[in-house]
Amino acid sequence: MEKEPASQGTERKLSALQAGIIGFIESRSEAGQLVTAEEVYAEFLRMGFLKEGENPLAEFEALLKETVEQKEDLREIADEKGLSRYYSARSMAEPYARILVRRGEDPLVGVAEVIRDNSRRYPRPVRLDLFEDPLFGLTPEEISACLKKMGEMEEYQDIQQTTTSIGTVFLYSRQSLDPDHAAMLAEWLDVGQSNNP
């Protein structure tokens, strides 16, 4: 039996590693989680796919980036400090991934980004209680503190609120929605839709 050339063995190992990277990122995305290169690397070490002395993290990160570039559904997203995280667009939308990245940062920035993004993209205001959702994990007191800070800071003066006829508070950005339009949309979302089957 002939021994395969070393280059073929290396190619197979790289291909297997790339398949493992893809599978790991996709499974974590399905669970609603982002992953860092270090997390993938640590998991591969734990599972015995890599050996610490033989496979430096820097080489693995290069392979990871190459894999992400080649696989259409894999995405890279960075936080404010430049730390890259990875996810599969098959299981996770970009806005959700951005929320996950922001969750570990100042909640003020994340709250404002979600409000502005919804006002710009969809366009629609968001319910205040959205930020109590486990995805954001903010308490009513923390949300109130965020809104108070926003009211005091120049860079957040576009963030406004409107209240529907049944008392639900919605938030929007004046950069994308004017107050009357935001109020009409909030009323429709909160009252009109359920009354018009």
Q: Which residues of the chain have pLDDT under 70?
A: 1-14, 104, 195, 197
From residue 74, how far is each of 25, 54, 70, 82, 162 by CA, in Å?
Answer: 8, 26, 8, 18, 38
| pLDDT for the residue numbered 57 | 83
| pLDDT for the residue numbered 171 | 97
CATH code of 190's domain = 1.10.10
| pLDDT for the residue numbered 54 | 72
Residues 13, 82 within the same domain: yes
Residues 68, 29 within the same domain: yes
Question: Which range marks the domain in which residue 177 is found?
Answer: 106-195
| pLDDT for the residue numbered 4 | 47
Q: In terms of residues, how long is the chain? A: 197
Residues 114, 186 within the same domain: yes
pTM, two decimals, is 0.66
| pLDDT for the residue numbered 11 | 58
Residue 129 CA to chain centroid, in angstroms? Answer: 19
Considering the domain boundaries, does residue 154 fall inside one? yes
Beta carbons of 137 and 103 less than 8 angstroms apart = yes
